[in-house]
Amino acid sequence: GFAYHHHDFEFFPLADGDGDTLFNILVKETDPTLVGIEVDVYWAARAGIDPAQLLGELQGRVPLLHLKDLGPAPDHADLPAGEGSLRWADILPAAAAAGARWWIVEQDNPVDPVADALLAIRNVETMGG
């Protein structure tokens, strides 16, 4: 099947002033049996969206998700999963309940790609993923 991977901008209100977002339109206007949502917990959080709540709203529509963590302000750099401020104790059960079968650890700008990936994998396993 097809799954859409979002970033933060899809959650921002559109300029037309009705308060809707590209993400809401995508979810409302596509067939859930044909279009999955590839949730990226970092980008959701970066946009001010609670990743666990988002996963709860997308039950059965999340075949896979991206796991990276949110660093401190002001730049909120992406960090290996488990090394930032995201609430993994809420996110991981919500991901499982939403039906996510594939969990992808990633970083956009890793310091050491292999070491960061291994750290993220160990952290996710330790946190129950």
pLDDT single digits (tens) 58-100: 999 999 999 999 999 999 999 999 999 999 999 999 999 999 9
Task: Answer for the pair 75, 109: CB distance below 8 angstroms, yes or no.
Answer: no
Rounded-to-integer distance, Cα 57 and Cα 94, Å? 10
Query: Mean per-residue pLDDT for 35-64?
Result: 98
Query: What's the CATH superfamily of 2-126?
Result: Divalent-metal-dependent TIM barrel enzymes (3.20.20.150)
Domain ranges across the chain: 2-126
Total-model pTM? 0.94
Confidence (pLDDT) at 14? 94
Token representation of residue 65: 């998700």
Query: Can you tell me whether residue 89 is helix, strand or coil?
Result: helix
Q: What is the DSSP string of 49-76?
A: --HHHHHHHTTT--SEEEE-EE--TTTT
Average pLDDT (107-126) is 95
